Chains A and B, each alone.
Chain A
Amino acid sequence: MDLADLYRDVIVDHNRSPRNRGRLPGACCHAEGNNPLCGDRLQLDVELDGDRIRDLRFEGSGCAISTASASLMSEAVKGRSRAEAAELSAAVHRMLTGQQEDAARLGKLAALAGVREFPARVKCATLAWHTLNAALAGGAAPVTTE
């Protein structure tokens, strides 16, 4: 059990300075995620341009792993199609749950690989991705944020 493998520099950096933090008023897709076990809450707004994610922002309170995961996710899926984002989300799940996955091809997201050695923390890392899936699933028909 190596803490340095969990709290890699990239994770600590994204926790200290989360990217794409905030809301997108009027965004077409929105979802709220929460992890009742630790009280983490996440609001996610996604703006689509046709089938592509033009922008996304998140807000909420959470631990370093859930905040860094949301921040890394926000960078990774911007500009991708919905299908590409869903495939990326599935790949991250496979990596986090220890299934066969070539972490290297996930780029910066590979920083989350250390989480799989800490089973109690896997849900922290997956929260943002579940929320993204929910936002995109409801996104076929635009929903209001209010």
Chain B
Amino acid sequence: MAAAREAAVPFDVERIRADFPALARRVNGRPLAYLDSAASAQQPAAVIEAVADYARSHHANVHRGVHTLSQEATALFEGAREKARRFVNAASVAEIVFVRGTTEAINLVAQSWGRAGLAAGDEIVVTQLEHHSNIVPWQLLAGQTGARLKVAPIDGRGVVDFDAYLGLLGPRTRLVALAHVSNALGTVLPVTQFLAAARDRGIVTVVDGAQAVPHLPVDVRALGCDFYAFSAHKMYGPTGIGVLYGREALLAAMPPWQGGGDMILTVSFSGSTWNHLPHRFEAGTPNIGGAVGLGAAIDYLAAVDPARLAAHEQDLLDYASAKLAAIPGLTLVGTAPDKCSLVSFTVEAVHPHDLGTVLDARGVAVRTGHHCAMPVMEHFGLPATTRASFGLYNTRAEIDLLHDALEDAIRMLR
């Protein structure tokens, strides 16, 4: 079969690396080993060039002018929206709201849908492995409405307890918000199962897809979620731009979130009327260049075979997990059977912050700290971990550099 033969062709990581200018640089005299893509991924030349070309030749404000540049900018901006629609398989571009990123997307749902829809005593369910951006907006909303926040616990591997989750879904549960992939532990949640349980009970669902979109194909209709949020910069695009997918029936009933230009049809001092979807939720001049960059990142990812990408990233994860676990005193934090593209760990008697500095001196970029997931750190009784995360451009050789630098750090500091 042609498909099987194609899948057998090795993933050409060197060709991909050549697309990313930052990967060619040196850091502290060493070749850069960039293992921090879960914080922010590097950008391919195609993204950098698309953003620059927009700024050089097509920049103007969108949705306004009749002049050529404004029409070009609008076409590029709305073209990026159509790319985002296809990327997550939304039914309509009316369901694709451009935002600053995942954080703003979740805040938008909380402040628009949540404030209009929740009453005192209603319940919001999240999981214990959420990023702060999928906890704090709900805490704020709970404070404003009198709703209560409930938390589905994780076990010692970082797997969310599905039975406990089901037990939390009660008659007052109005909203479930959960990560597709954990940024601190790498756990891939079986979201289809979690979402189905909520949907069966008529509960609105929000998925934080920030860590999923660079690694997994996402189909919002197959998942069956009401809202799905993601950021461009985790998927090889620029910072400051992201998407809130919202099911049209829900978005259409939601009040505006921010007021201003572009989100209105008419304004008078006796009252204003709201623009159509999705513009009703996009007050003010948007990040046009960012949207163009997101569109280019989507095009870049679309050219990569998803099965080969998954096999490559799984290989990196397996290789790194085995290689690091063999270091005496190193403990992997997050050992769920279904994981994605990152290893979080501690080293006995060596603080993550010191590891981070020693690794940086060797050109190896990792993240150290609580990863904006303090409840996860508390669960494992840790102040911080070191996290190495992988993107499509990483190699086994970079994991070898990480391994050797860790051994150096331990020799130096323990």
Contact = CB atoms under 8 A, between A and B. Distances in A.
B351 interface: yes
A37 B370 CA distance: 8
B383 A61 contact: yes
A37 B367 CA distance: 12
A106 interface: no
Interface in B305-323: none
A113 to B, nearest CB: 16
Interface of B: 28, 350-354, 357-358, 361, 368-370, 377, 383-384, 412-413
Given A12-B412, A39-B384, A61-B383, A124 B361 contact: no
Contacts of B350: 64
A118 B357 CA distance: 8
A98 B271 CA distance: 58
Contact of A38 (B361, B368, B412, B413): B368
Contacts of A65: 353-354
Nearest to B28: A1
B369 A121 contact: no
B413 A1 contact: no
A124 B353 contact: yes
A118 B370 CA distance: 21
A61 B370 CA distance: 14
B354 A39 contact: no
A74 B306 CA distance: 57
B413 A12 contact: yes
Contact of B412 (A7, A41, A124): A7
Interface string A8-39: 00001001000000000000000000000111
Contacts of B369: 37-39
Interface of A: 1, 3, 6-7, 12, 15, 37-41, 61-65, 118, 120-121, 124
A63 B351 contact: yes
Contacts of B351: 61-64
Given A64-B351, A120-B357, A3 B383 contact: no
Identify whether the interface residues of A are mostly helix, strand, loop, or mixed: mixed
A67 to B, nearest CB: 8
Nearest to B349: A16
Contacts of A1: 28, 361
Given A62-B351, A65-B354, A3 B370 contact: no
B248 to A, nearest CB: 41
Contacts of B353: 38, 40, 63, 65, 121, 124
A65 B361 CA distance: 16
A6 B412 CA distance: 11
Contact of B413 (A39, A64, A120, A124): A64
23 contacts: A1-B361, A3-B358, A3-B361, A3-B412, A7-B412, A12-B412, A15-B413, A38-B352, A38-B384, A39-B369, A39-B370, A39-B377, A40-B353, A40-B383, A62-B351, A63-B351, A63-B352, A63-B353, A63-B354, A64-B350, A64-B351, A120-B357, A121-B357
Q: Among the interface residues A61, A64, A124, which one has the most CB atoms of the partner chain B within 10 A? A: A64
Nearest to A124: B353
Contacts of B352: 38, 63
A124 B28 CA distance: 21
B361 A64 contact: no
Contacts of A37: 369
A92 B190 CA distance: 52
Most chain A CB within 10 A, of B351, B369, B370, is at: B351
Contacts of B413: 7, 12, 15, 64
Nearest to B368: A38
Contacts of B358: 3, 7
A86 to B, nearest CB: 27
Nearest to A121: B357
Contacts of A118: 357
B16 to A, nearest CB: 29
A116 to B, nearest CB: 14
Contacts of A15: 413
Nearest to B374: A39
Most buried by B among A7, A38, A63, A124: A63
Contacts of A63: 351-354
A37 B383 CA distance: 11
Nearest to B370: A39
A124 to B, nearest CB: 7
A64 B354 contact: yes
Given A7-B354, A38-B369, 11 more contacts: A1-B28, A3-B358, A37-B369, A39-B370, A39-B384, A40-B353, A61-B351, A63-B351, A63-B353, A63-B354, A124-B353
